[in-house]
Amino acid sequence: MPDCNMDMAFAGSVFGAVGTCGQRCTSLRRLFLHESIYDAFVARLIKAYPGFNARMGDPLDDNTLLGPLHSKMGLEGYLKGIEEIKKQGGKILYGGAVVEGMEGNYVLPTIAEINHDADIVKSEIFAPVLYVFKFSTLDEVIEWNNEVPQGLSSSLYTKDLAATW
């Protein structure tokens, strides 16, 4: 929401989207941003994402921030997902590629801009792919949030506790 603590929302969003390389059921996949903060927040994400590449590596190393995908099948699913995003009118704002020169199933964490109701958004890729969406009203975003068939783990960043009810 426009009144959120931007630093807290940013840190929570980045960890949720990139932590565990997007391979847990509660990974952040869809980030809905109010139209008044969308451009600045997305620009901040795009600026931050290249920094994760330097901390990519062995997940057992304490200095690693982003590990590999679990298998070649996961890698193939990521690449097919990127293709589908583009076919369905999405735009890759950052990432969307395999990391060259590293042994293993390493991919760039990805930010994609696409319509909230695109079919690919309703599928699980289980990779670090974050969809960003611009919304106008709380009612609208609640409706969009509930469009997917999966069970949801959701968060609302706001200082207005009345907005949560």
pLDDT in tens, the chain (165 residues): 888 889 999 999 998 888 776 666 777 899 999 999 999 999 999 999 998 888 888 888 888 888 899 999 999 999 999 999 999 999 999 999 999 888 889 999 999 999 999 999 998 888 999 999 999 998 998 888 888 877 667 788 888 877 655
pTM of the model: 0.91
Q: Which two three-digit tokens encode residue 139?
A: 């009612």
Spelled out in words, what is the top-level CATH class assigned to the domain 6-147? alpha beta
Domain boundaries, the chain: 6-147
- Helix%, strand%, coil% for the chain, nearest 5: 40, 15, 45
